[in-house]
Amino acid sequence: MMPTRLTIFAVLLGTASLAMAKADKPNLVIVLTDDQGYADVGFNGCTDIPTPNIDRIAAEGVRFSDGYVSFPVCGPSRAGLLTGRYQDRFGFTTNPTIDPANPEAGIPLDEKNMAEVLKPAGYSSAIIGKWHMGSHEVHHPLNRGFDHFFGFLSGGHNYFPSEYTINDLSEVTGQWEWYRTRLVKDYERVDVEGDYLTDILTDAAVAFVDAKAADDRPFMLYLAYNAPHTPLQSTEKYLSRFDHIEDSKRRTYAAMVSCVDDGVGRVMDALRRHGLEEDTLVFFLSDNGGASNNASDNGILNKGKGSLFEGGVRVPFAMQWKGTVPPGQVYAHPVISLDIMGTITALAGVRAAEEKPLDGVNLMPYLTGQDSGVPHEQLFWRKFTHDGISIRQGNLKLVADGKRKQNGYKLFDLSEDIPEKKDLFAKEPEKARRLIEQCDTWNTELKATIFPTLMEDTWWER
Ligand code: CA
């Protein structure tokens, strides 16, 4: 039967009101990569690994030249991103143990993560990929605000499903065996279709967008690829794109990044196919700087993963919100992963608990030109277990990468010294003193570590 004019009108009206409802509270997609170097995306000058899909996010939105994460390794960085608060405020100072019997190892239950905060605003949330925010059931994503989980609880994973020979964390008998556990869908261990984890995660992300496109609720997708974290594993499909790279580690790394880029392209295609681009903020970033063991490249930045120098905490970082954020911007004032929470809570109209204020801010006024000021007067970092601390204020950066009482601090002016080579500490004692004071004051607001660290715990020997 041909539709009458009335039914067509009703369909159009339905679509329009749906679109308006969604625009009120935009969807959020966060694509987080793992240990990807600052210079390993086209928009930061990468030449040997094409990343056209990731670059398109920056081209159609904003490239953050000075985009930071709140910690130079996986776990604490993700705890900051997911809460919008410096994770040391609640003692998440190091990579947590994977011990499934430890209820302390995770984001404390009185701290709210993004999914928990967005739930009352009507959001449906998914985490696809790496969780690493606790393996005890109290920290399971579905018990922490998420509606969907597909991936793995631990801090890393092998890429070939043929290697997933361990059913569950309870069967682990040695360190790193959790890299070979079967994947989890919601609460169940499942076998998966496909031969390569990164593609499998992309499949799940596209399926989520497809499923949510018809829903009248806004959604949040946290797509946490573990690529290009070690183990360096790829398939011929991606390796064959990089025959020109002789170094076999770099070649495999390039293949892994290229697969992520394909995945980003497929997720963005899904948003476009459903007409959701103007209703969806998309963030792309890495959880910390490139690591020394995965052949990543941080460009001119000093050091990498694990360090409070720029190479550890300044990451490839871009966002787009088509129709709202003007395209083609390079935003040079410092921003931090915590701002994703600051932005989405402001847009969704939800407030953080008064006693636990966000450190992240709403970036929208800065990206739309309403506010010509800076999002942050200063940013801080702390490496509690190494007695390291750092602050960036304007272009000045003070760093004690570890053992600050013995080794002291270094001071750099990033406006002329991005590689942090010219230490100004002795030349500018007054500036250094003021920054040290600020670090000390901030430090008094922070807690000590609340759980055993990943590298030292031996829970499987119990
Ligand atoms: Ca990482």
Instruction: Give 1's pLDDT tier (boundaries 50, 70, 90).
Output: very low
Closest C-alpha to 209, from 22, 436, 420, 349: 22
Q: What is the predicted pLDDT for the residue at 12?
A: 43
- Distance (angstroms) between ligand 1 centre and the Cα of 229 equals 7
pLDDT of residue 2 exceeding 90: no
Q: Are 440 and 429 in contact (CB under 8 A)?
A: no
Q: To which residue do tokens 């910690």 refer?
A: 71
- 212-220 average pLDDT score: 94
- Distance (angstroms) between ligand 1 centre and the Cα of 75 equals 7
What is the CB neighbour count within 10 angstroms for residue 311? 29
- 56-80 average pLDDT score: 98
Instruction: Give 392's pLDDT tier (boundaries 50, 70, 90).
Output: very high
How many Cα atoms occupy the beta-carbon half-sphere of 382 within 13 Å?
A: 25
- Distance (angstroms) between ligand 1 centre and the Cα of 142 equals 23
pLDDT of residue 51 exceeding 80: yes
Percent of the chain with pLDDT over 70: 95
- Distance (angstroms) between ligand 1 centre and the Cα of 159 equals 16
Q: What is the predicted pLDDT for the residue at 351?
A: 87
Closest C-alpha to 156, from 336, 304, 305: 305
Q: What is the predicted pLDDT for the residue at 8?
A: 41
More confident residue, 161 or 15: 161
Q: CA geometry: angle at 126 spanning 121 and 129, to 5°?
A: 150
At 104-119, the pLDDT tens digits run 999 999 999 999 999 9
Q: Which residues are catalytic?
A: 74, 132
- Distance (angstroms) between ligand 1 centre and the Cα of 90 equals 20
Q: What is the predicted pLDDT for the residue at 10?
A: 40
Q: Distance between CA 245 and CA 28 in Å, rounded?
A: 36
Q: What is the predicted pLDDT for the residue at 6?
A: 42
- Distance (angstroms) between ligand 1 centre and the Cα of 314 equals 13
- 293-304 average pLDDT score: 98
Q: What is the predicted pLDDT for the residue at 23?
A: 55
- Distance (angstroms) between ligand 1 centre and the Cα of 288 equals 5
Q: Which two tokens stand for residue 98?
A: 């994977």
At 4-45, the pLDDT tens digits run 444 444 444 444 444 444 458 999 999 999 999 999 999 999
pLDDT of residue 440 exceeding 90: yes
pLDDT of residue 151 exceeding 70: yes
**Number of residues that this document lists for the chain:** 462
At 313-366, the pLDDT tens digits run 999 999 999 999 999 999 999 999 999 999 999 999 998 888 999 999 999 999
Q: Which two tokens stand for residue 289?
A: 């700087």
- Distance (angstroms) between ligand 1 centre and the Cα of 77 equals 8
Q: What is the predicted pLDDT for the residue at 17?
A: 41
**Report field, pTM of the whole predicted structure over 0.75:** yes
pLDDT, averaged across the chain:
95
pLDDT of residue 179 exceeding 50: yes
At 231-280, the pLDDT tens digits run 999 999 999 999 999 999 999 999 999 999 999 999 999 999 999 999 99
Q: What is the predicted pLDDT for the residue at 24?
A: 85
pLDDT of residue 66 exceeding 70: yes
Instruction: Give 194's pLDDT tier (boundaries 50, 70, 90).
Output: very high
Contacts of residue 5, defined as CB under 8 A and 6 or more positions apart, other chains included, come to none
Three-state DSSP string of the chain? CCCCHHHHHHHHHHHHHHHHHHHHCCEEEEEEECCCCCCCCHHHCCCCCCCHHHHHHHHCCEEECCEECCCCCHHHHHHHHHHCCCHHHHCCCCCECCCCCCCCCCCCCCCCCHHHHHHHHCCEEEEEEECCCCCCHHHCHHHCCCCEEEEECCCCCCCCHHHCCECCHHHCCCCCHHHHECEEECCEEECCCCCCHHHHHHHHHHHHHHHHHCCCCCEEEEEECCCCCCCCCCCHHHHHHHCCCCCHHHHHHHHHHHHHHHHHHHHHHHHHHCCCHHHEEEEEEECCCCCCCCCCCCCCCCCCCCCCCHHHHECCEEEECCCCCCCCEEECCCEECHHHHHHHHHHHCCCCCCCCCCCCCCCHHHHCCCCCCCCCCEEEEEEHHHCEEEEEECCEEEEECCCHHHHCCEEEECCCCCCCCCCCCCCCHHHHHHHHHHHHHHHCCCCCCCCCECCCCCHHHC
pLDDT of residue 223 exceeding 80: yes
Q: Distance between CA 66 and CA 332 in Å, rounded?
A: 6
Buried b (16+ CB within 10 A) or exposed e, 394-409: eebbbbbbbebeeeeb
